[in-house]
Amino acid sequence: MIATANNLFWNDLVIGQNEEVVGLPRNIKLLPMEDKNNFFYEYNYELYLNKEWVADFYCGEKGQLRYKNDNPVRIEMRKNILYQSELKSRLDSIFDLLNLKFYKYDHAEIAIDGYGLLERMRALLHARLYHRKQPLENVSEIKHDSEGWLKSIRSGSDKSDKLVSVYAKQLTLSTKDDYIKDFWARNGLVIVPEKQIDRGELRLWGKEANLLSTDFNDLVNPRYLASFFRKYGSHYFEYIHNDEPEKRRHVINWNKFKSIEIKKPVKNKVGESKEAIKRTIKQLYFQHILTGNETYYNAYTDLVRDFGLFKWKKLSYRKWDSDKKLRFRKLKG
């Protein structure tokens, strides 16, 4: 997810390359990464909350991104943390301790695990009597490189904002994935020889990801996540009888989930408020240029400082200076 940092956050911290960040509360640490690097950000850290590594943290945007807010930071929760009930409280703590405001999701994944999903998908995909509700052109079957067994079936492209897949999750687990086995056991999904546990997954980027609720309570609510998956991804798993369209088959048994209404997400007020401030700064800037009144200058420079818009100001002034020449021509005319 992407958050924006209050300007005070940056002023209070001492950030140096390959060094621990100084100036944080005692129960949170930012330690430099050794073997991972996000090239869009200057600094890459492991984020520890109460001595537990809970997320990767990126800050110091290099100017290659085009977010509407200055000082964006990127938070990637570690996968094992996503399976724990304390996810919501940890997110709240991170945002509170680092003085961050939520801006947008960069990407999101919602998974439903169950027995035999991949075989059911394969059987329906090749059934002569049924066709998929979603067109077939974007479906691909992927087999294990050396052993040849079916590894996954997916719909969509890596370049699109939505990708849906069913894959053999149990067969691809490693020893570092024991937290997934523990999660299955807690929820009654037992590993047995005669059954295979597969995963249906909805992956979202950009605008699709930002259909998700910004209320972190929803991110740990199985009813919300299942209902969201059903609303935005179920048609990829639905098959229709060729002669009797009312007959439908689903790869995922949605009757096992209690549905709730998925409301349209509320627009991000943080982004909207900053956009309004930027428009005000631009008007004050032009008023100062046109009148020479120092009051306008003091007003817009104060706003730039208070809202941490230094980088945006620098980029915008170049464009405004060109605009300014046009305005002077109009005034002279």
- 202-224 pLDDT, tens digit per residue, is 999 888 888 998 888 888 888 99
pLDDT of residue 333: 46
Looking from the CA of 144 toward its CB, the CA atoms found within 13 Å total: 11
Helical ranges in the chain per DSSP H: 7-12, 79-82, 87-97, 117-125, 178-186, 206-209, 222-233, 269-291, 294-306, 310-332
Percent of the chain with pLDDT over 70: 84
What is the token pair recorded at 201? 């997954």
> Does 325 have pLDDT greater than 70?
no
What rounded mean pLDDT belongs to the chain? 81
> Does 48 have pLDDT greater than 90?
yes
Residue 47: pLDDT band with limits 50, 70, 90: very high
> Does 245 have pLDDT greater than 90?
no
Burial label, 189 (beta-carbon count in 10 A; 0-12, 13-18, 19+): middle
Question: Region 173-193: what's the mean pLDDT?
Answer: 88
Burial label, 39 (beta-carbon count in 10 A; 0-12, 13-18, 19+): exposed
pLDDT of residue 273: 66
Q: Tokens 């209404």 correspond to what residue?
A: 261
Q: Considering only residues 78 and 174, tell me which one the structure prediction assigns the higher pLDDT.
A: 78
Least confidently predicted of 59-68, 131-140, 202-211, 267-276: 267-276
Question: Region 286-293: what's the mean pLDDT?
Answer: 83
Question: Region 88-105: what's the mean pLDDT?
Answer: 88
